[in-house]
Amino acid sequence: MDYAASEPGTTAVASALAIKILIAGGFGVGKTTMVGTISEIRPLHTEELLSERGIGVDDTSGVEAKSTTTVALDFGRITIRDGLWLYLFGTPGQDRFWFMWDELALGALGAVVLADTRRLQDCFPAVDYFEQRGIPFVVGVNCFDGARRYDPVKVRRALGISETPPIVLCDVRDRESVKNVLTTLVTYAVKGIS
């Protein structure tokens, strides 16, 4: 018997569960936007202005209008029900900040790898990272305005991933779309555990 749970006022604390989810992908793919769209709290962003030091280092092709970048992480929270929360951690996109991924990945149930079909190669490092560590992931294809839409089967083939990880078309600016991606990830990750 769980004695702590039988004490008045301790049920929620004794049965509380926080699930950690990573949001990863290349530079400018929409990680910060995704966290901000779904978070019920004001999200924490570690955005800094792009500087001259990034010229020749950061590939801004396809995202020329982007003026900031995440240098550490983005953080948001979603309450699923009393005592159950999703904590969202957005990873930095540039390779010079990837040293943070190992810390951010500790204890994660799974990850969303965001992909932009105009720059699909930018999500390869994230796919490789989660495959090598055995962390369940889904690929969320962020359907940018004006970008060509591809069937998920073609995206899977282009990424060279197995039939297992789900591929979901999404718009990270739309709350319901983000909710669908996260629901798909949690369902997929929990199936892998059981």
Q: How confident is the model at residue 131 (pLDDT cuts 50, 70, 90)?
A: very high
pLDDT at 5 over 50: no
**Range of 28-42, 66-80, 173-187 with top mean pLDDT:** 173-187
What separation in angstroms does the CA of 11 have from each of 14, 15, 78, 81, 86? 5, 6, 20, 14, 19
The more confidently predicted of residues 154 and 15 is 154
CATH of 16-193, one of 3.40.50.1980, 3.50.40.10, 1.10.287.70, 3.40.50.300: 3.40.50.300
Report the pLDDT value the prediction gives residue 3, as an integer from 0 to 100. Answer: 39
CB-count burial class (<10 Å; 0-12, 13-18, 19+) for 94: middle
Q: Nearest CA to 69 among 90, 99, 100?
A: 90
Secondary structure of residue 21 in the 3-state scheme: strand
pTM reported for the whole predicted model: 0.79
Report the distance separating Cα 25 and Cα 27, nearest Å: 7
Report the distance separating Cα 19 and Cα 66, nearest Å: 31
pLDDT tens sequence across 36-92: 999 999 877 666 555 565 555 555 555 555 555 554 578 899 998 999 999 999 987
How many CB atoms are located within 10 Å of the residue 79 CB? Answer: 11
Which of 3-17, 89-103, 120-134, 171-185 is the least confident region?
3-17
What separation in angstroms does the CA of 59 have from each of 95, 100, 127, 175? 11, 20, 19, 28
Report the distance separating Cα 28 and Cα 92, nearest Å: 10
Residue type (1 letter), 27: F
pLDDT at 168 over 80: yes
pLDDT at 119 over 50: yes
Q: Where are the domains of the chain?
A: 16-193
pLDDT at 138 over 80: yes
